Amino acid sequence: MRAVVDWLEKNRRLQSSLTLRPIGFIATHKRVKFQALHQPAEAQSERNVLELLPELGYQQALRDLAGFSRVWLLWWFHRNTSWRPLVLPPRGPAQRRGVFATRSPHRPNPLGLTSVQLLGIEGRRLLLGPCDLVDGTPIFDIKPYIAAYDAFPEAAGGWTEEVDASLIGPPKFTVQFAALATTQAEWLLANWEIEFRPRLIELLAIDPSPHRTRRIRRHGAAMFSIGCGGWRAIFSVTGETVDVLALEPGYPLRFLNNPDYKDLPDCEAQLACWERWPEELR
């Protein structure tokens, strides 16, 4: 105990702050957290690029990495502002877990850890496979993934094993889009390159019941809403069918028209959406 007290005394500065500097930033196609999977899905064909900062010797530091087919990324959940000791994981029953028993972004030190495929290296740019990071995430470190040290397939998976077992098999719910929701989704894609249908369908097909982390709430007497990044989808559930009825901007006009909030996600598209469907969105 004495040794611990001495160490803490000597390293007092470490207790309050520790400075880390990003080595680079990743470019992914996920502009909002809603679009990012909870962990990377290998089956997806997406390509992401990590560009290291120039003039710091980082390019030289990549020497010998090309022979590895996977790397670990250590990164910062930069879109987070808070942490909680107990969190509600998005998958499985609505049950709070200790944050250290989860991969939740809401951690005291918001550090992310992701293993990704390394597809190529061009100068300071790493071409990477599927990942769960949003666009612009700061990266602190890269390490080679070494199966002999890093893979323990038979290790116990705690509470996640139960959840995984409950999700085996085809999704329970069928998700369909009403005419208005289809028109709106197509309008968003054609005019603003905004597309969140695949992720929306995936989430609702598993479980459309109200859940804080999945951002599913009751909406009036017979409907529900789910947050999809800066947007919202309104849906109803009948038996095992989910009907997506409409898509809505996530922000009211008084915010979107306020110059103090000009950085709200998809601000221009949301204003245009209010203008295009004034009656339906009232």
Work out how close the CB of 203 gets to ligand SAM at its nearest, in angstroms, rounded to a whole number.
Answer: 11
Whichever of 33 and 70 has its CB closer to ligand SAM, that residue is 33
Site string for ligand SAM, 135-154 (x = CB under 6 A): --x-----------------
Using CB under 6 A, count the residues that bind ligand SAM. Answer: 18
Whichever of 36 and 99 has its CB closer to ligand SAM, that residue is 36
Helix axes 267-276, 179-192, angle to 10 degrees: 140
Residue-by-residue DSSP string for 39-83: S--TT----EEEEEPTTSSHHHHTTT-TT-SEEEEEEE-TT----
Q: Please give the residues from 86 up to 115 whose contact with ligand SAM meets the rule CB under 6 A.
A: 103, 105, 112-114
Q: Please give the residues from 60 up to 89 whose contact with ligand SAM meets the rule CB under 6 A.
A: 77-80
Residue 265 main-chain phi, psi, to 5 deg: -60, 135
User: Among the candidate windows 29-37, 59-67, 140-148, 216-224, which touches ligand SAM by CB under 6 A?
Assistant: 29-37
E-state strands within the chain: 24-27, 48-52, 70-76, 86-87, 97-98, 111-122, 125-128, 138-144, 174-177, 216-219, 223-228, 231-238, 241-249
Whichever of 77 and 277 has its CB closer to ligand SAM, that residue is 77
Q: Which residues bind ligand SAM (CB under 6 A)?
A: 33, 36-39, 77-80, 103, 105, 112-114, 132-134, 137
